[in-house]
Amino acid sequence: MVSAVILAYNRCSEVLITISSLKQLCPTLPFELQIVVVDNASVDNTSAEVKNQHPDVTLITKEKNNGIAGWNEGFKVATGKYLLVLDDDSNMESGLTEAIEYLEDNKDIGILALQIKDIYSGINDKLNPDTVWKNKQDVEGFIGCGAIIRKELFNKIGGYGEWIYVYTHEFDYSLRCLNAGYRVVFFGNAVVLHRKSQVNRTNKRARIYTTRNEMAIVYKFFPKRRWTYLWRVWVNSLKIIKAEGISSSYSVLLGGIKFLKMKKSLVYTPVSLDVQKYYTDRFHSTKPIFEKLRKKFSS
């Protein structure tokens, strides 16, 4: 019923931990769990070690790294009704059975966002800085290292966008999910442990691609007031200076420049006005720039 799809890139030791944790979980589940690993052109010994230590795992070894779209190869071969999406450095800690039962009872949910627990800082609420997501709340996105996607949804709208490469693919996919008539819901009773390996991660790259991609999502999908929301995304992105320092502003600037260079290659596929409003009302980067100040004065 469930296929765990893991995207791996140059983190051999991490993906082996994730596979082992899933196998330990299997005897406690009332359904079968298929494990799929997509090696996204790693240059370490990821594929060899997975094949050697876990020959029963479905392994896909890619010759070229195409970023987050590498997950799509795993989604295609997955036999489960539900796709448990994991990073190579994240593992299911608890609540998988309850999450699947909830999805079985709610056929209109396309994506179930799971609770992510960072082993260093605890529960991760960074996606929504204004309010922490509540259990069983309809939301605008999910955290990519721990979510469940209905395979039916993948069959209808396809996989993650090839154009994104890295970061914010969750919000692109959620917009498309909502536009297809499904819901995105946060399920806090299912917890994914994120070990958050520092391999392949830098704050500069994250800030550049996050800014570029958030602007690109607005440009690609919004049918109304695109440039107003593009401006909001860029200015709101600059607010990260408070947490990361003035140097982060340069990364935001580079992200904006990268967006301007790529926008001509984006295929315009507007969502409905209702979906745009749902998204802009919730997503922090598309909210009014001085919203907090306005609320303070109005109260």
pLDDT at 11 over 60: yes
Residue 126: per-residue pLDDT: 47
Containing structural domain, residue 105: 2-194
Total domain count, the chain: 2
Residue 124: per-residue pLDDT: 55
Kindly state the average pLDDT of the residues 203-226: 94
Give the SS3 label for residue 5.
strand
The answer to whether residues 42 and 180 belong to one domain is: yes
C-alpha distances out from residue 64 to 5, 52, 69, 86, 133, Å: 18, 22, 11, 20, 36
Kindly state the average pLDDT of the residues 118-141: 72
The answer to whether residues 86 and 229 belong to one domain is: no
Q: 182 CB contacts (<8 Å, ≥6 apart)?
A: 108, 109, 110, 111, 150, 153
Q: Determine the Cα–Cα distance for residues 63 and 69; give it in Å rounded to an integer.
A: 13
C-alpha distances out from residue 257 to 15, 45, 190, 261, Å: 35, 36, 39, 6
The answer to whether residues 152 and 253 belong to one domain is: no
Which of 172, 194, 216 terminates a domain? The answer is 194
Residue 156: per-residue pLDDT: 98
211 or 244: whose pLDDT is higher?
211
pLDDT in tens, 238-259: 887 776 778 788 999 999 999 9
Residue 179: per-residue pLDDT: 98
State which H helix or E strand residue 49 sits in.
helix 46-53
Which of 171, 194, 217 terminates a domain? The answer is 194
With b for 16 or more beta-carbon neighbours within 10 A and e for fewer, the 266-284 pattern comes to eeeeebeeebbebbbebbb
The answer to whether residues 185 and 255 belong to one domain is: no
pLDDT in tens, 79-103: 999 999 999 999 999 999 999 999 9
pTM, entire model: 0.92
The answer to whether residues 63 and 177 belong to one domain is: yes
Mean pLDDT estimate for the chain: 91
